[in-house]
Amino acid sequence: MVGTAIQLYTLREMDATLPELIARVGETAFDGVEFAGLGDADPDEVADALDDAGLDAAGAHVGLDDLEADPAGVAETYRRLGCETLVVPYLDETHFDSEAAAVETAERLAALAADLDAEGARLAYHNHDHEFVDVGDRAGFDAFLDAADVNVELDIGWVVAAGRDPTALLDRLAGRAPLVHVKDVRDGRPVELGEGELPVEECVRAARDAGTEWLVYEHDDPADPERSLERGAELLAGFGD
């Protein structure tokens, strides 16, 4: 079964509290949400909002420093929301700009994944495009993938922006890509889904074949977040089970 969700970062410019945003997502065809932090929201109120909206928590973006500082506490906070997948949303280019750096990054995340696993949570890493810089005869991201069995929330839009084939990468990541960010790009910049270079249907098929559990819609800078929410839900509705 593959669910569809929206990364709530997409809706950050909407004038609404987190529970209100969840309620609005619940009016669409999305099955869930992915958190970009909780801000000052009460986790119990957020959990109630999810229940009221009939939505699941696909995952949550949490900074690496916060995860390493208190893996048990972070895992417990998100467990209250029914969220077991915690995603490191960004690491800068210095973590991937050499073979040694990429390997060190992979080993660091693998150690954190083991700590979170002991707390009943799962770790993944969300890529951008800078991870694909060449570090010899391969990209830093390839060295990262080979160094440790770390899960990836593959952002296929940034993969396209980096000039790589997202379907081939999904095939390589079979069993390691529980969440996939469905983002469209044109000339390296995010655009509305279906208006860019992303082969959406081919990528969805590849994600299914790779064992992906959630297709997560994201637009980094939508001109109209409300319309982007509606459009993303409409286009992905036919791909969820």
Can you give the pTM of this predicted structure? 0.97
236: confidence class by pLDDT, cuts 50, 70, 90: very high
**C-alpha–C-alpha distance, residues 15 and 12, integer Å:** 8
**C-alpha–C-alpha distance, residues 241 and 231, integer Å:** 18
Q: Which two tokens stand for residue 6?
A: 């929206």
Tell me the C-alpha to C-alpha distance, in Å, between residue 11 and each of 14, 32, 192.
Answer: 6, 14, 13
Structurally, the chain folds into a number of domains equal to 1
**C-alpha–C-alpha distance, residues 97 and 156, integer Å:** 20
Q: Is the pLDDT of residue 194 over 70?
A: yes
User: Residue 89 sits in a domain of what CATH number?
Assistant: 3.20.20.150
Q: Is the pLDDT of residue 199 over 60?
A: yes
Q: What per-residue confidence (pLDDT) applies to 51?
A: 98
At 132-165, the pLDDT tens digits run 999 999 999 999 999 999 999 999 999 999 999 9
240: confidence class by pLDDT, cuts 50, 70, 90: low
Domain of residue 156, residue span = 3-237
Q: Please state, rounded to an integer, the average pLDDT across all residues of the chain.
A: 97
At 78-136, the pLDDT tens digits run 999 999 999 999 999 999 999 999 999 999 999 999 999 999 999 999 999 999 999 99
Rg (CA), the chain: 17
